[in-house]
Structure 1
Amino acid sequence: MMSKTWLITGISSGFGMALAHQLLEQGEIVIGTVRKENAKVKELEAKFPNTLDVQHLDVTNVDEIRSVVENTVEKRNKIDVLINNAGYGLFGAAEELSDGDIDQIMATNLTGSIQMIRAVLPYMRTQQNGRIIQISSYGGQVAYPGNSMYHATKFGIEGFCESVAQEVAPFNIKVSIIEPGGARTEFRYGSAHVANLMPEYDNTPTHAFLKMLDPANGLAPGDPEKMATRIIEVANSDKAPLHVVLGSQALFATIDRLTERLNEYKGETEIAASTDVKD
């Protein structure tokens, strides 16, 4: 079977590193983007010099995004799978966040993912096939206090992907949104950004995330290696589910919230109908 070409953003740690390593072990070709190379990336490059191509990319820079995609197609002739993985968590109440905090997470998690997808679509459309795997979170369906801007980016990218999935289906391009629960990655225990906290929110649900970010209080239940395996299986599946939740706690929380939301809407039948034009 011919190797596929996988373009994965953010391979320096977490899901990106796990995905890249597993795919390379399977003989696949990986174009992995990083903002900064680290020892783990260099070790992977040394082990897979012919099938790993590390590209420096800041996903907030649209010109760099287009350049990486163009270089990949020029060198490899195709992009079979895009895995939009780059992103980070931002914690704090809405009024604790700075303007810079808001601008940066929107540019990284939302606009960066949108522009990556837009950049690969012309090539996948020409190929008449392709897979787009968007790493979201169950936080794209379930919101908690102290995470407002993170949720804004994840709810936003899910809406974008649901629309794009319908636009590109005629060209045999399939889209899947991955919604992991908490996992034992640097997302919680290293790369998480915390706002300038205000004492007014101490001892309220908003600052409950501080307990979650401290490994001494217990680690997240998700295994990133197992999650990476499931993501690869989804990317290789002909079924291409639109939403894939990873983690039992995440699935139960999602079902509970969607059930609550559905019941809310069902209770609004009269008020909705009251605004219709009566002929």
Structure 2
Amino acid sequence: MTTTWFITGTSSGFGRLLTEHLLARGDRVAATLRRPEALDDLRAEHGDRLWTARLDVTDAECVRRVVDEAFEALGTIDVVVNNAGYGLLASVEEASDEQIRRVVDTNLLGSIHVIRAALPHLRAQGRGRILQVSTAGGQTTYPSLGYYHASKWGIEGFCETIAREIAPFGTALTIIEPGATPTGFGSSLDTAPPMPAYANTPAGHTRQAFADGAFPVPNSAEKIATAMIDLVDSDATPLRLPLGPDTYEDVHAALTARLAEHEVHRDVAHSVAAAKPAG
């Protein structure tokens, strides 16, 4: 059975790979990106099974218009993939106000815009899937990526909430958490002028690891794209799907440490409860 997908950020990385794989197997794809001409080769090969539109996810009005047009053109859309993203490598002090706004506008608000625009259509259909591409950094952290984490932790909290809101309408949401993968993300990270004060700190060490190509990148982009497609085909609807040994181990360590710290404060947490009324 042919499945119809709506995918943001399809010019490269996971978005491009998903589009290629889905078209190759006969699915239909509404592919959105800043430069639609980047998919001219796929359009020439696959014809009207590929629908494209120029989209800047930071523009809420544009998002609503493009999503409406995609549903009108294709009739139904089975899967919405929020993949567009922006990476910023800078310590908290180094980043500019403009860079901070861009990472939040793209990764957090942009994803929210797409979901909000798609939900009325999915609800009317009575079925649908949303895949929100996040990262291991949606549950754990690395120095010099604080603003990126702020956006990813934010979208994960939003998605965890709305997954319960939209379930009664036959719509399921899964947060996809890829680990470090050679998709060009590392080389495309925006940076800020480094402050000497951070050179010999964890923030500086992370920056240097990226600069030297020493940051571990253990995953296959092809396998991650395939795992996302396999998830939809299986009809499984987990809230989160960790993809990559680094994601599994780093998130496991972060959750374990967080729970251990949480347990330490059990007594003081209970100590501030209001006294129960007598009688």
TM-score by length of 1: 0.96
The residue that corresponds to 1:26 in the other structure is 25
The 3-state SS of whatever aligns with 2:93 is helix
CA distance in 2, matches of 1:163, 1:207: 35
Alignment of 1:93-242 (within 5 A): 93-189=91-187, 191-214=188-211, 216-217=213-214, 220-242=217-239
Question: 1:210: how far off?
Answer: 2.6
Structure 2 CA distance for partners of 1:37 and 1:199, relative to 1, 3 Å: farther
TM-aligned CA distance change 1:45 to 1:219, over 3 Å: farther
What does the per-residue CA deviation read over 1:60-89, in whole Å, with 9 as the maximum and x for residues that have no partner? 001110111111111111111000000021
Q: Number of aligned pairs?
A: 276
What is the match of residue 269 of structure 2?
A: 272
- Corresponding residue of 2:58: 60
Q: Mean Cα displacement is larger for which, 215-224 or 266-275?
A: 215-224
Aligned counterparts of 1:111 and 1:162: Cα–Cα separation in 2: 15
Decide whether the 8 Å contact of 1:133 with 1:235 is kept in 2: no
- Name the SS of the counterpart of 2:6 in structure 1: strand
Q: Which residue of 1 aligns with 2:76?
A: 78
With over 3 angstroms needed to count, the CA separation of the structure-2 counterparts of 1:107 and 1:218, relative to structure 1, is closer
Q: What's the offset of the Cα at 1:4?
A: 1.6
The equivalent position to 1:245 in structure 2, one of 225, 242, 249, is 242
2 CA distance for matches of 1:17 and 1:173?
Answer: 24
- Counterpart CA distance in 2 for 1:200 and 1:274 is 41
Q: Is the 8 A contact 2:90 2:207 kept in 1?
A: no
1-structure distance, mates of 2:75, 2:36: 25
Whole-Å Cα distance in 1 between the matches of residues 90 and 8 of structure 2? Answer: 26
Secondary structure of the residue that 1:11 maps to in structure 2?
Answer: coil
Distance in structure 2 (CA, Å) of the matches to 1:117 and 1:16: 17
When the two chains are superposed, the root-mean-square deviation of aligned CA atoms in Å is 1.3
Partner SS, residue 174 of structure 2:
strand
SS at match of 1:217: coil
Offset at residue 38 of structure 1 (A): 5.5
Q: Secondary structure at the match of 1:93?
A: coil
Equivalent position amino acid for 2:93 in 1: E
Q: CA deviation at 1:51?
A: 0.8
Is 2:256 the partner of 1:259?
yes
Q: For the Cα contact (< 8 Å) 2:166–2:172, is it kept in 1? A: yes
The Cα shift of 1:94 comes to 0.6
- Residue type matched to 1:173 in 2? T
Unaligned runs of 5+ in 1: none
Does the CA contact (< 8 Å) of 1:60 and 1:111 recur in 2? yes
Paired letter, 1:138 = A
1:213 alignment partner, SS class: helix
Runs of 4+ in structure 1 deviating by more than 6 angstroms, as ranges, are none
> How much does 1:153 deviate?
0.4
Q: Which residue of 2 aligns with 1:12?
A: 11
**2:119 alignment partner AA:** L
1:134-178: CA deviation from partner (whole Å, max 9, x where unpaired): 000010000111111000000000000001100011111000000
Matched letter for residue 241 of structure 1: P
Q: State the Cα distance separating 1:241 from its structure 2 match.
A: 0.7
Equivalent of residue 49 in structure 1, options 28, 47, 52: 47
Q: Cα distance 1:218–1:61, how it changes in 2: closer, same or farther (>3 A)?
A: closer
**Whole-angstrom CA distance in 1 between matches of 2:261 and 2:273:** 19
Q: Contact (CA 8 Å) 1:35, 1:57: kept in 2 or not?
A: yes
Q: For residues 107 and 83 of structure 2, what CA distance do their matches in structure 1 show?
A: 9
C-alpha contact 2:36 2:53 (8 A) present in aligned 1: no
Asked if the contact 1:12/1:38 (under 8 Å) is kept, the reply is: no
